[in-house]
Amino acid sequence: MIAYFLRRLISAIPTLLAIITIAFFMMRIAPGGPFDTERRLPPEVEANLEKAYHLNEPLVAQYWDYLGGILHGDFGPSFRYKDFTVTELIRAGFPVSLKLGLSAIVIALVLGIAFGTYAALRQNRLGDHAVMGLAVTGIAIPNYVVAPLLTLVLGIYLGWLPVGGWNDGAFRNMILPVATLALPLIAYVTRLTRGSMIEVLRANYIRTARAKGLPMRLIVWRHALPAAILPVITYLGPAAAAVLTGSLVVEQIFGLPGIGRYFIQGALNRDYTLVMGVVIFYASLIILLNLMVDLLYALLDPKVSYR
């Protein structure tokens, strides 16, 4: 398995290089620049800024300089957040996104697997239809609709929870954004668990376990669930990367200082280095999480081997 892990890491290098290259040239080709404002700067001031950030050099030279900085762990300075490097901004925003994302993922896994298993054990009954109806509703309603609704009802009308702000990660401030992030994840995990659990419960080894007289609780927990959650693990890789790096909509609506908000501000301000840093961080996280998913497969399914 160690050899497989190393091979996957090595094979990820060309993928990451392609992502960096495409993102770099797309950002540069797009119209506008980091110093284009409503009030036009004097030509000499703009020329000095471009020289200071090496934007007056040929595009290919900028690309090679940027790659050299990445190899040394330097994403460059932010063009719009003065006196801050991109690395410092990501380091400041990632703990916020990580805390929100991990909370949403844990809640989604616990509730989604429980609801999916419940629906599978009561297939085509009232409980199954009720759970699946709620799951479809959770998938159909996007975050940018759920967040304002929760804010309006629980924050403004009832006044139970704060409608924005981070407040150093206070529990009350986390409830609304975590709930907004977790609801669609719960819906997806529920549907995946139900479909996979129904298929596993029809397998021959489950029938054998029933014939031996094992209680249903033990059959589900020990034999069916490890195989049934494999599709959930597959979905969890990219989903976790998206949640852990911050939801663009959720962080913007609730005013949270996470990576997602920095990404939006960087895109609006044409902050090349900030957008590139977040894209590279996000791509690296996806590659790493997908690799962890593959390794989990070998632990959960004895038929999987990476020799």
Q: What is the pLDDT of residue 57?
A: 72
Q: Where are the domains of the chain?
A: 107-258
**Predicted confidence pLDDT, tens digits, the chain (307 residues):** 677 677 777 888 888 888 888 888 887 777 666 666 555 666 666 676 667 666 667 778 888 888 888 888 788 888 777 778 888 888 888 888 888 888 888 999 999 999 998 988 888 888 888 888 888 888 888 877 888 888 888 888 888 888 877 877 788 888 888 888 888 889 899 989 988 888 888 888 888 888 888 888 888 887 788 888 888 888 887 777 777 765 777 888 888 888 877 787 777 777 788 888 888 888 888 888 778 777 776 676 656 565 6
Q: What is the pLDDT of residue 132?
A: 87
CATH dotted code for 107-258:
1.10.3720.10
Q: Secondary structure of the chain in the HEC alphabet?
A: CHHHHHHHHHHHHHHHHHHHHHHHHHHHHCCCCCCCCCCCCCHHHHHHHHHHCCCCCCHHHHHHHHHHHHHCCCCCECCCCCCCEHHHHHHHHHHHHHHHHHHHHHHHHHHHHHHHHHHHHCCCCHHHHHHHHHHHHHHHCCHHHHHHHHHHHHHHHCCCCCCCCCHHHCHHHHHHHHHHHHHHHHHHHHHHHHHHHHHHHCCHHHHHHHHCCCCHHHHHHHHHHHHHCHHHHHHHHHHHHHHHCCCHHHHHHHCCCCHHHHHHHHHHCCCHHHHHHHHHHHHHHHHHHHHHHHHHHHHHCCCCCCC
> pTM surpassing 0.85?
no
Residue 175 contacts by C-beta under 8 Å, 6 or more apart in sequence?
161
